[in-house]
Amino acid sequence: MRYRSVILSALLVMAVVVATSCLKEGSMPNKEREKISLDAWIRLHKPELVGNYQPNGGYYVEVLEWGNESAAPTSKNDIGGAPLMDQDTCWVYTNMTGRTMNGTICLTRSGELADLCGTYSYNTHYVPYYNYCGNTNFGLLEGTYLAMRNELVLSDWYVSEYWSGESSGFKMRKGSKVRLYMPSSIAYGEEGSAVEGGYEGQYTLSASTPMIMDVEVLGAVRNPSDKEVEMVSHYIKGGANAIWQQAELTETEKNQLKEGESPLLTGLYYSLSYNPKSDDPASHNYIRPEMSGVNNPYTDKKIYLNMTEVNKKINQILLDRFGEGLSASERSDATQVTHQGVAKVWYVLRFLDGFVVDTNIDEIRQYVYKDYSTKSEVFTYAPSDDDGSADGNKQAIGAWYYCISQMHHGSYGQIITTSGYAYGSTGITGTTTTTESSTGGNMSYYNPYSYYNYYNYYNSYYSGYNNYYDYYNYYNYNYNYSTDDTETVTTRSIGTEILPYTPLIFTVFVEERD
């Protein structure tokens, strides 16, 4: 047997040599050269996968976890352990880690791995990727889409050797985890990896280069809008920190309703009762992201390990900065912002798992992002200025349009919203900006308007234009600082990703009226 393995190894090496000599032929198309290279690599390093070649896409599959076929749906919207490929439409939660062929990480959604790579960012929300995975691919990496939407070819030998008792027809489902060995044609193509937002890993992937991708399916739902409403309802019903009121259309919009139509806005609520002094830091009904194998999934034991302490710290910062604000009895006599008024707003924007997405309060930025370099400003907001404005020219998201007018000058408040009144089915992609700046030049300050841009107004429930099939639009939300270039210092700045169909919660303080 030892003699036979030596011969086999020699033959594999010869195959690689032959393949390499073929690659030197200048007339060979790049796609064909890459296929020869990938095939030779598999035969040398992963010969057990030779029979797991997928003709549709030209990649190889290694099954790490078969999946949980008996997983029961958690709701009518949840597909449980049903195969992804059998769904006409679904939105899937996936963990993903990409590597070069020599094993170095070029992208990851794991905070733990990012920490090991030295790329961890306090601005990055390390949670599963969430995207449409239906009959047509809108936004998923082609290789991962092909793996989730097709019955994968596994050799009989491979199944009997590694997955005794399973069939050779493998369909990805909840709990499935695979390792894909992909050519660049179904990965990052001729441009190479362009991953940003703290998910980059330690090295970039070169252009026209094969890659290895681990893909783990954590669950899937049929309707992302319904999932959001479930999440918002869970949060406001389970926590004791605020009394919530459902938002309504403006008076002008109510006058345009047809008989029987409701003025209430689905998935949008505000609270006038919130106050950091009376708030119970442990009462927030946060919803943990769907992850596997980690206790504190999106932070991996960084700042959010103890969410109660985070809430306590943020509450204290608010009290130190703005005081206690108006009491309930004082608020009844205070001036309401109204739709025609103007509010100067300080805010903290969080996901429903408690992660701070953005804030224009410096002390909170310093606490959660370890960012001591920026200077924020109050946001002056006039709801009426958004009346009739084009989507891209609106000052703020729909949640603010309907809810800030209900707040009172000198008071705290909260807003919780589905993406229909925020960043919709496209979300915001994470960004990484590397700047070279002067240590002694004039600094331009932090721009607090990054998360107010109301480009996604068409996605609101009221307007009825929700579209499951939109994919990420790539916008440049520049809220970094810069300095004059004399003696330069390199700075890496991260813009936080907001995934499609993601609910948000704002804590706000509206200044006293001038």
Share of the chain above pLDDT 90, in %: 61
pLDDT band at 139, cuts 50/70/90? confident
Tell me the CATH number at 167.
3.10.50.40
Note whether 5 and 115 are same-domain residues: no
Note whether 320 and 392 are same-domain residues: yes
C-alpha 187/C-alpha 175 separation (Å) is 23
pLDDT at 491: 75
Note whether 38 and 102 are same-domain residues: no
Q: Is the pLDDT of residue 189 over 60?
A: yes
pLDDT at 474: 28
pLDDT at 330: 86
pLDDT at 106: 93
- Domain membership of residue 229 (yes or no) is yes
pLDDT band at 375, cuts 50/70/90? confident
pLDDT band at 334, cuts 50/70/90? confident
In this prediction, residues 158-179 reach a mean pLDDT of 92
Range of the structural domain that residue 36 is part of: 1-44
Residue for token pair 């996936």: 94
pLDDT at 26: 55
Note whether 164 and 241 are same-domain residues: no
Tens of pLDDT, residue by residue over 386-403, are: 887 766 688 999 999 999
pLDDT band at 329, cuts 50/70/90? confident
- Domain membership of residue 461 (yes or no) is no
Domain count, the chain: 3
Q: Is the pLDDT of residue 182 over 90?
A: yes
- Domain membership of residue 298 (yes or no) is yes
Sign of the dihedral through C-alpha 276, 423, 433, 481? negative
In this prediction, residues 14-35 reach a mean pLDDT of 62
Among 44, 59, 75, identify where a domain stops.
44
Note whether 195 and 228 are same-domain residues: no
Choice between 454 and 21, residue whose per-residue pLDDT is larger = 21
- Domain membership of residue 383 (yes or no) is yes
Q: 84-88, 207-211, 299-303, 426-430: lowest mean pLDDT where?
A: 299-303
Note whether 247 and 187 are same-domain residues: no
In this prediction, residues 418-445 reach a mean pLDDT of 77
pTM of the model: 0.83
Give the tokens for residue 347: 């805010």
pLDDT band at 27, cuts 50/70/90? low
Total Cβ atoms within 10 A of residue 85:
17
Tens of pLDDT, residue by residue over 36-49, are: 999 999 999 999 99
One DSSP character per residue, 63-125 reads EEE---TTPPPSSTTB-TTS-GGG-SS-EEEEEEEEE-TTS-EEEES-HHHHHHHT---TT--
pLDDT at 138: 87
Choice between 22 and 391, residue whose per-residue pLDDT is larger = 391
Rounded to 5°, angle at Cα 456 from 451 and 460: 115
